[in-house]
């Protein structure tokens, strides 16, 4: 009998019959069987480690995705909740009703988009929502949407639009790109503590289209700047630290890149560069 142990646990018991020649087992035979047993133990260990690694990577990616969805769904839910709470007292205010219907519809669309992503993910495929859209209109819609929210929250933040182009046709996932813009605009507003200026630029050199979002907020410490795109890096009490990681992934899914420049106490500029499509 030749036992094969893995971490002191008996994994396999090889039961040998007689040798074909009918001879007795020699010392050399027994040594060889010992080597085979050790090699088998190493192979079993490796297979197990590989299985554990695949399993833990899958768990980590599911964890990351769940945290992403929790993060992205919480924002629209918070704003829906605020509106619902204000509804009874403000129902007769036409301005409120107007922004209510716009914002509620927008937030429901965002949640709907996230659910599509979740379904795509569970079927292990990438976002499949490719559509044709105008990038300048998409950016402008997003900026107006953030402006509505700032006005509603009575924030003293001005938005300056500097559009060097009036249209830019693109194909891609418009809902995701909108999410990336919202994440950057929201960070800019949060960095200004309710007061300052948010500048939105869009320009092209014919090869790339660049969208720059500049705030006059607190800026980023040079020691932290290399980490801010990593998941779960946050300096905010209520932050999860996923906004930038998600935005970077979305931009890279569109074959683009994202950069940051910042000066402490002066402000920050995030620039998204996307390839122009012909
Ligand atoms: N415009 C900005 N100005 C100053 N600091 C910023 C700016 N944008 C991001 N940061 C820094 O980068 C960190 C990571 O940003 P990110 O958007 O990924 O997460 P978060 O805003 O902290 O939380 P979440 O977006 O998940 O709610 C922030 O906590 C903040 O320290
Ligand atoms: Mg953020």
Query: Is residue 238 predicted with pLDDT exceeding 90?
Result: no
Host H or E run for residue 114: helix 94-122
Ligand 2 centre distance from Cα of residue 242 (Å): 7
Output the six-digit token pair for 181: 């813009």
pLDDT of residue 25: 82
* Range 114-140 average pLDDT: 75
CA distance 235 to 228: 10
Q: What is the 3-state secondary structure (H, E, C) of 202-257?
A: EEECCCEEEEEEEECCCCCCCCCCCCCCCCCCCCCCCCCCCHHHHHHHHHHHCCCE
Query: Is residue 151 predicted with pLDDT exceeding 80?
Result: yes
Query: Is residue 32 predicted with pLDDT exceeding 70?
Result: yes
Query: Is residue 112 predicted with pLDDT exceeding 50?
Result: yes
Strand 9-14 to 208-215 pairing = unpaired
Q: Of the spans 13-22, 57-66, 188-197, which averages the highest pLDDT?
A: 188-197
pLDDT tens figures, 34-46: 888 888 888 888 8
Higher pLDDT, 205 or 71: 205
Q: Of the spans 63-67, 71-75, 120-124, which averages the highest pLDDT?
A: 71-75
Residue with the smallest CA separation from ligand 1 atom 20 is 241
CA distance 222 to 262: 8
pLDDT tens figures, 81-98: 888 888 888 888 888 888
* Range 109-125 average pLDDT: 66
Share of the chain above pLDDT 90, in %: 41
* Range 145-164 average pLDDT: 91
* Range 219-235 average pLDDT: 91
Output the six-digit token pair for 14: 């090889």
Cβ of 234 closer than 6 Å to ligand 1, yes or no, is yes
What rounded mean pLDDT belongs to the chain?
87
CA distance 100 to 89: 13
pLDDT of residue 124: 46
CA distance 192 to 194: 6
pLDDT of residue 120: 58
Task: Please name which of 210, 276, 220, 275 lies closest in space to residue 244, comparing C-alpha atoms.
Answer: 220
Cα-based torsion angle of the residue sequence 250, 275, 159, 106 in order, rounded to the nearest 10 degrees: -40
Give the phi and the psi of residue 127 in degrees, each rounded to 5: -50, 130
Is 214:199 a contact under the CB 8 Å cutoff? yes
Host H or E run for residue 55: helix 27-90
pLDDT of residue 118: 65
Rounded to the nearest 5 degrees, what angle is found at the Cα of 16, between the Cα atoms of 12 and 20?
150
Query: Is residue 123 predicted with pLDDT exceeding 60?
Result: no
Task: Please name which of 227, 230, 214 lies closest in space to residue 262, comparing C-alpha atoms.
Answer: 214
pLDDT of residue 117: 64
Query: Is residue 125 predicted with pLDDT exceeding 70?
Result: no
Q: What is the 3-state secondary structure (H, E, C) of 115-157?
A: HHHHHHHHCCCCCCCCEEEEHHHHHHHHHHHHHHHHHHCCCEE
Cβ of 209 closer than 6 Å to ligand 1, yes or no, is no
Task: Give the torsion sign (CA, 64, 71, 130, 248).
Answer: negative
Ligand 1 centre distance from Cα of residue 187 (Å): 5
Ligand nearest to C-alpha 270: 1
pLDDT of residue 121: 53
Other CB atoms within 10 Å distance of the CB of residue 202: 22
Residue with the smallest CA separation from ligand 1 atom 9 is 187
Three-class SS of residue 198? strand
Share of the chain above pLDDT 70, in %: 94
CA distance 193 to 81: 22
pLDDT of residue 231: 80
Ligand 1 centre distance from Cα of residue 147 (Å): 19
What domains can you pick out in the chain, each with its CATH number?
Answer: 2-60 (no CATH), 130-278 (3.30.565.10)
Cβ of 212 closer than 6 Å to ligand 1, yes or no, is no
- The confidence band for 13, taking pLDDT boundaries of 50, 70 and 90, is confident
pLDDT of residue 149: 86
Other CB atoms within 10 Å distance of the CB of residue 214: 20
Higher pLDDT, 31 or 53: 31
Cβ of 4 closer than 6 Å to ligand 1, yes or no, is no
pLDDT of residue 233: 86
Strand 257-263 to 195-204 pairing = unpaired
Candidates 213, 217, 234: which one to mutate for ligand 1, based on the most atoms within 8 Å of Cβ?
234
């Amino acid at each position: 009998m030749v036992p094969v142990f893995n971490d002191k646990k008996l994994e396999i018991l090889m039961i040998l019959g007689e040798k074909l020649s009918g001879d007795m087992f020699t010392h050399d035979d027994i040594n060889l069987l010992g080597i085979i047993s050790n090699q088998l133990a190493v192979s079993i260990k490796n297979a197990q480690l590989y299985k554990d690694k695949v399993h833990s990577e899958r768990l980590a990616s599911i964890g990351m995705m769940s945290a992403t969805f929790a993060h992205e769904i919480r924002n629209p839910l918070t704003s829906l909740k605020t509106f619902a709470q204000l509804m009874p007292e403000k129902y007769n205010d036409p301005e409120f009703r107007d922004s209510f219907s716009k914002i509620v519809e927008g937030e429901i669309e965002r949640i709907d988009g996230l659910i599509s992503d979740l379904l795509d993910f569970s079927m292990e495929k990438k976002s499949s929502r490719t559509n044709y859209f105008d990038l300048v209109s998409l950016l402008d819609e997003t900026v107006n949407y953030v402006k509505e929210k700032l006005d509603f929250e009575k924030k003293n933040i001005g938005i300056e639009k500097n559009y060097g182009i009036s249209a830019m046709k693109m194909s891609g996932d418009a809902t995701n790109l909108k999410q990336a813009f919202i994440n950057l605009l929201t960070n800019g507003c949060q960095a200004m503590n309710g007061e300052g200026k948010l500048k939105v630029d869009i320009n092209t050199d014919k090869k790339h289209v660049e969208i720059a979002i500049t705030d006059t907020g607190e800026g980023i410490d040079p020691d932290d700047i290399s980490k801010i795109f990593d998941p779960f890096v946050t300096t905010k009490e209520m932050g999860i630290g996923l906004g930038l990681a998600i935005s970077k992934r979305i931009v890279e899914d569109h074959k683009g890149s994202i950069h940051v420049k910042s000066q402490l106490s002066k402000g920050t500029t995030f620039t998204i560069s996307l390839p122009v499509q012909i």
